[in-house]
């Protein structure tokens, strides 16, 4: 799912896929092409970082969300408070099939919209 998601993000948003950490070469940051703001972080982490138990490695994507809906999203299976990010504005989503691929794409769309430059008001 990781390769498919990264390929679709690159095509759909013309984003920069960056690997900024030498000690974590599998981590991929999705950045807006002009503002360079993050709207996603794909990584593999021990599941225990999200659940407190089970040390198996899982792929997750961290996504920006509207704080007004973050709590309700985190009630869904496979969606957690973001690991290593602001938990009010970011979520971690399992990419192991628990959350349907189409739902992940919808969440990526939302994340991308949230980092777009604000239009100036007249």
Q: Which CATH class is domain 2-115?
A: alpha beta
Q: Rounded to the nearest 10 degrees, what angle do helices 2-13 and 101-115 cross at?
A: 40
Take residue 100 and report the two structure tokens written for it.
Answer: 């349907």
Instruction: List, for residues 40-93, the tens digit of each pLDDT value.
Output: 999 999 999 999 888 899 999 999 999 999 999 999 999 999 998 888 899 999
Using CA atoms, how far apart are residues 92 and 45, in angstroms rounded to an integer? 11
pLDDT > 90? residue 22: yes
Instruction: List, for residues 3-12, the tens digit of each pLDDT value.
Output: 999 999 999 9
Using CA atoms, how far apart are residues 86 and 84, in angstroms rounded to an integer? 7
- With tokens 């972080």, the residue in question is 41
The residue ranking higher by pLDDT, 94 or 122, is 94
- With tokens 């999203």, the residue in question is 73
Taking every pair of Cα atoms in the chain, the longest distance, rounded to a whole number of angstroms, is: 53
Q: What is the pLDDT of residue 27?
A: 96
């Amino acid at each position: 799912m990781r390769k498919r998601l990264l390929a679709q993000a690159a095509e759909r948003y013309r984003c920069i896929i960056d690997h900024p950490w030498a000690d974590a070469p599998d981590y991929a940051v999705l950045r807006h092409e002009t503002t360079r703001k993050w709207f996603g972080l794909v990584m593999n982490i021990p599941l225990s970082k999200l659940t407190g138990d089970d040390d198996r490695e899982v792929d997750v994507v961290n996504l920006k969300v509207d704080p007004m809906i973050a709590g309700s999203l985190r009630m869904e299976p496979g969606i957690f408070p973001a690991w290593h990010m602001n938990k009010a504005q970011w979520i971690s989503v399992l990419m192991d099939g628990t959350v349907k691929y189409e739902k992940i794409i919808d969440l990526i769309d939302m994340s991308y919209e949230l980092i777009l430059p604000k239009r100036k008001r007249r």
